[in-house]
Every structure is written in structure tokens, then in C-alpha cells.
């Protein structure tokens, strides 16, 4: 397996993560939610392994722009998955699938180093 970084290109955290990986000389694939969409099978895996409460970024601007009914409708993994398909920017970024199959959410040099 290879390292896959999932996110959107204009996200500062995704930019820092991609830069860090490049600085370490690590090859990786970038999956752009905006262009390629959210892969449903992998999204289900993220929700199962990381928890829907962590994958949905409730502090981000996309969540804050949702109407009250849309926010209230997100109550479990299935409803979170549906929102992720409709609004990919609501996903906390980046999600990284490491070469060994483990997943990580967000970026810090310490977090990424722990996966090498």
C-alpha cells in the first residue's frame, strides 16, 4: 500500500501535511475531495475506525453555515456519511491512509512521525 492524503487543496492544514510528507522524501497520493469526490467505501471505513464525531468538523466554516435542521440530522455514522457526500468540506482534514493501512486525522509533525 501507499500513503494517501485525503482533503482539499486550499486547506492550510492539508498544505502543511503535504509539505511535511514531501520534506521527508515520502511519496504519497493526494485525493482531492472537490475533484474526485468522497469515496463512499473509504468514508465508511473512516467513520468506523475514527468515529463520526471526530471525522465531522463541527468547528469549521462549512458546519457553521449549515442550517439548524441539517446540523440536527447528523446523529450517527449513516447520517454523517450522507452529509460528507453532500458537503465534503465538512470532513476534518487531512485524513491519511498510511502505507500499513492505519488512518490518521488532522496534522501535526509528531502525529505523522508516529506513523513512519
The per-residue pLDDT for 96 is 98
* Ranges of H-type helices in 24-108: 33-36, 40-50, 52-55, 61-65, 68-72, 77-86
Please check the confidence at residue 7 and state whether its pLDDT lies above 80: yes
Give dist(CA 17, CA 23) in Å, integer: 10
pLDDT-based confidence at residue 1 (cuts at 50, 70, 90): confident
The one catalytic residue among 11, 14, 43, 96 = 11
- Parse the chain into domains and list their residue ranges: 3-114
Active site residue 90: no
Q: What pTM was computed for the model?
A: 0.93
pLDDT-based confidence at residue 21 (cuts at 50, 70, 90): very high
What is the CATH code for 3-114? 3.40.30.10
Amino acid at each position: 500500500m501507499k500513503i494517501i492524503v485525503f482533503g482539499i487543496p486550499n486547506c492550510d492544514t492539508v498544505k502543511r501535511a503535504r509539505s511535511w510528507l514531501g520534506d521527508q522524501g515520502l511519496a504519497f497520493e493526494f485525493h482531492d475531495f472537490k475533484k474526485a469526490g468522497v469515496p463512499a467505501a473509504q468514508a465508511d471505513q473512516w467513520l468506523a475506525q475514527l468515529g463520526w464525531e471526530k471525522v465531522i468538523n463541527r468547528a469549521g466554516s462549512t458546519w457553521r453555515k449549515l442550517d439548524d435542521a441539517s446540523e440536527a440530522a447528523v446523529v450517527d455514522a449513516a447520517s454523517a456519511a450522507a452529509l460528507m457526500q453532500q458537503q465534503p468540506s465538512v470532513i476534518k482534514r487531512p485524513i491519511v491512509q498510511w502505507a500499513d493501512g492505519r488512518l490518521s486525522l488532522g496534522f501535526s509533525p509528531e502525529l505523522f512521525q508516529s506513523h513512519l
